[in-house]
Structure 1
Amino acid sequence: MSATPENISSPLHHCILLGSAAGAVALTAGLAMHRPQATGGHRDVAEIFADIDSFDPDKSVAHLTHDVTFRFANNPEIHGRDSVQKAISDFFATIDGLSHRLLNTWAVAGTDIVVVPTDVTYRRRDGRRVTVPNADILTFRGNLVCDWRIYIDLAPLYA
């Protein structure tokens, strides 16, 4: 018997069907899936990612609380909008641009958390483009992000 959504009942089997770690997190954590919308529940994350893709550090932090907690890849956690703006500026200085393709969004029911898997295409300084998978976990306070976790392997970008 082949695996189809109709004959699979466990979350683990659904995760295998989805074929992604983000899918595993989403289904086992009871997330509401939205495809192919650019919003997670009531959150317009598309605007947030568009502002990052503008390659403007000021726009990139406009959606953050002043006391935000931010972790990018394997870098240490940082706190505060000003610290995040400096980190983004420093990172942007190592590349020539980027763009996110939002693959899905999952809003965690009863919380202010949105999970966003993406493919990120970076324009390197040498003109090459590198695309890597990425998963962001954003926690909102009101309309602003107060905690942002970015899970990505940047090694291909600098290889």
Structure 2
Amino acid sequence: MITALFDSIDTKDINAFANFLAEDVIFCFSNWPQIEGKANVENAVNAFLQSMAVIEHQVSDCWQPDDMVICRGFVTYTRHDHTKLTVPFANMLQVLDGKITDYQIFADLSAL
């Protein structure tokens, strides 16, 4: 699931990304305000994906306690002016019936 999830983000395939989300998903990305609902998350993530030329995740560790998936690694953002920023990230996902119900991303995006 994690490999396919990050592939959907890195290829900017918003439809594939949205297929991982429950209808009532709660999403928090870095210091963004919390977003609720699949359609709202899909719109916000799509806008962010389009603001970057390229996004590349490298997942280094992943744990699956109970109904959670926790992973960490590095993400490289390539801006449209071709400058790059690489930062560490950690994600906590609550999964119920194969869908993400709570999606928390921890990364310092202040340099973006």
Task: With the length of structure 2 as denominator, give the TM-score of the two structures.
Answer: 0.94
The alpha-carbon deviation at position 151 of structure 1 amounts to 0.4
How does 1:1-159 map onto structure 2 within 5 Å? 44-108=1-65, 111-156=66-111, 158=112
Return the alpha-carbon distance in structure 2 between the equivalents of residues 60 and 54 of structure 1: 10
Give the Cα–Cα distance (whole angstroms) in 1 for the partners of residues 61 and 33 of structure 2. Answer: 27
Give 1:101 shift: 0.3
1:74 partner letter: N
> 5+ residue gaps in structure 2?
none
Q: Deviations over 1:26-69 (max 9, x none)?
A: xxxxxxxxxxxxxxxxxx21111111111122222110111101
Deviation at 1:87, TM superposition (A): 0.4
Q: TM-score, normalised to structure 1's length?
A: 0.67
Question: CA separation in 2, counterparts of 1:91 and 1:137?
Answer: 19
Choose between structure 1 and 2: higher strand proportion.
2
Identity of aligned residues (%): 30
Number of residue pairs matched?
112
Residue 93 of structure 1, CA deviation: 2.7
Counterpart-to-counterpart distance in 1, 2:93 and 2:25: 11
> 3-state SS of the aligned residue for 1:85?
helix
Q: Once superposed, what is the RMSD of the aligned Cα atoms?
A: 1.0
Specify which structure has the bigger relative contact order, considering alpha-carbon pairs within 8 angstroms and separated by 6 or more residues: 2
Could you tell me how far 1:148 is from its partner in structure 2? 0.4
Over residues 129-148 of structure 1, what are the superposed CA-to-partner deviations in whole Å (9 max), with x where a residue is unaligned?
21110000000011111110
Q: Distance in 2 between matches of 1:116 and 1:51?
A: 16
Q: Secondary structure at the match of 2:31?
A: coil
Q: Work out the CA distance in 2 between the residues paired with 1:49 and 1:121.
A: 12
Higher Cα Rg: structure 1 or 2?
A: 1
Q: Indicate the SS of the match to 1:151.
A: strand
